[in-house]
Amino acid sequence: MPHIERNVLYTIGGAIVLMTLLPWILGKVVPNQVFFEWPYFFEVAIGGLLSGVMYSLVALGFVLIFKASGVFNFAQGAMVLFAALTLVGLIDLGVPIWASIILTLGVMVILAFAIERVVLSHLVNQEHIILFMATIGIAYFLDGFGQTLWGSDVKRLDLGLPNSPIKLFDGALLVNEFDLIAALIAGVLVISLALFFQYTRIGRALRAVADDHQAALSVGIPLKHIWVIVWSVAGLVALVAGIMWGSKLGVQFSLSLIALKALPVLIIGGFTSIPGAIIGGLIIGAGENIAEVFIGPLIGGGITDWFAYMLALVFLVFRPQGLFGEKIIERV
């Protein structure tokens, strides 16, 4: 699709312009000149980009479900928490790591089945807001369920991933090795999902359902199976995100709040675009980190809570469907 390529070019061009202009502007605005140094700026920006990849991982789960069923899945964050809790719980029970990952994946597939059976199949043809509310219900249920099963104390998740800073350019730039690995895994996940959507039979069916439920049904695509598959894939993405965030922050309730971080990523990238989730994550991650370090001190700090949302809000005023979202055509 040509317009997506154009958007990618615009984004990259915009990012380059911003990256060159922003340090200069910040250099003028920030009163303490010593504070601003180029290598430090890039370290902050790269750190932000890498954590942005982690946001993308959560956003990806949202996009998958929205794309295939038009459901705005608020429970994605709870699914991340649930997957991570199950994984840690199984490891604590003495199950080997590889087996617990596979078992957790199985649990997520069962969860997808259950959600389709218990919730979605009863809510066919309801308004979007009702489905959205139902996913909030799922989120509450999963939060409570996971913590009832596995307890609510903070648990460490150690899969043996390295976690030490790498020095680049003779120590001028410090990059966390763990973040790099996370970015790599996210990249692989995204590419394989994109290929899956583009080239497999199921992927084609998913896209058909996304385009038009009824048309897809009438050519014999089973909506039920598609939903289970999509929610299972979203469960897989949640598991990966849970592993990444869980090894970084520890497995605890706050994992499910990461979903709130993924929402601005979604609105910048567009609800229906997988590349959008990635680019949106990068923009939010870098923007948030740069803003916190260089603008935050001017207005009291702690601005990461809302900066992403404000960025997204300003963004939306100019491009209501997000960067890669489908153009909204309205007629009576």
Given the rule CB under 8 A, which residues bind another protein? 72, 118-119, 122-123, 126-130, 132-134, 136-145, 147-148, 152, 260, 263-264, 266-267, 271, 299-303, 305-306, 309-310, 312-313, 316-317, 320-322, 330-332
Q: Decide if 186 contacts 200 (C-beta within 8 A).
A: no
Q: Is 292 helix (H, G, I), strand (E, B) or coil?
A: helix
**Sign of dihedral through CA atoms 113, 114, 116, 117?**
positive
Cα of 203 vs its chain's centroid, Å? 20
Q: HSE of 291 in the Cβ direction (CA atoms, 13 Å)?
A: 18
Inter-residue contact 304 to 83 (CB < 8 Å): no
Written as one letter, the residue type at 287 is G
Q: Which residues contact 42 (CB under 8 A, 6 or more apart)?
A: 173
Q: Pseudo-torsion of CA 208, 210, 211, 216, nearest 10°?
A: 40
